[in-house]
Amino acid sequence: MQYSSGVHKIATWSHLANAHPVPGPSIINGLAKVGLALERGILLLAEMSTEGALARGAYTEDAVRMARDARDFVIGFIAQHRMEGVGLREGEKQDNTEDFLILSPGVGLDTTGDGLGQQYRTPEEVVSSSGCDIIIVGRGICGNPGNIDVSEVQRQAERYREAGWNAYLQRLDRKDE
């Protein structure tokens, strides 16, 4: 209901949303009834960057299977690495045309954690080593939400943009080898 109506009518303005696959395929089917007609898509939350997260193993495999069954609407994942080969059942072959986007949270340049369970990886680890397509950065750019310095946010955003781009170029260089 939040996606199609309500106060925000998310599907009317957001071309891309994310969803937890915990409810099972019905979450995808319900959102697709609204989103497909509007040429929208979703990302499934397949993995998280926090220590002890339950989004791993069988959860991740099931999320990938659900996405493969709904490739007309699911365009990728919030995850920590590429999903090729994940969730394949015995005897099942990887579809070489599969190319889900991978957006990875938990990216940091200056720290590896926050003492509360959040674990950070560098853009190089996320993009070049793990093959993710897009880095998701929060505190590394915004810092303290109670005291935002706009010029510092801009400076940090540029640092992350440059680090992410350089990691992508590294990944391309490896493909050429």
Contact 130, 82 (CB under 8 A): yes
Taking all residues of the chain, what is their mean pLDDT, rounded to a whole number? 92
- One-letter amino acid at 48 equals M
Q: What is the pTM of this model?
A: 0.90
Tens digits of residue pLDDT in 142-158:
887 778 889 999 999 99
Report pLDDT for 73: 98
Bridge partners of residue 77, in order along the sequence: 44, 102
Query: For residue 74, what pLDDT band results from cuts at 50, 70 and 90?
Result: very high
Whether the predicted pLDDT of 9 surpasses 90: yes
Q: Among candidates 125, 41, 118, 133, which has minimal Cα distance to 82?
A: 133
Q: Six-digit token pair at 145?
A: 């939400």
In a 3-state reduction of DSSP, which class is residue 170?
helix
How far apart CA 87 and CA 78 sit, in angstroms, is 16
Report pLDDT for 95: 87
Please give the helix or strand (H or E) that residue 78 lies within, else none.
strand 74-78
Q: Residue written as tokens 């309500």? A: 6
In a 3-state reduction of DSSP, which class is residue 177?
coil
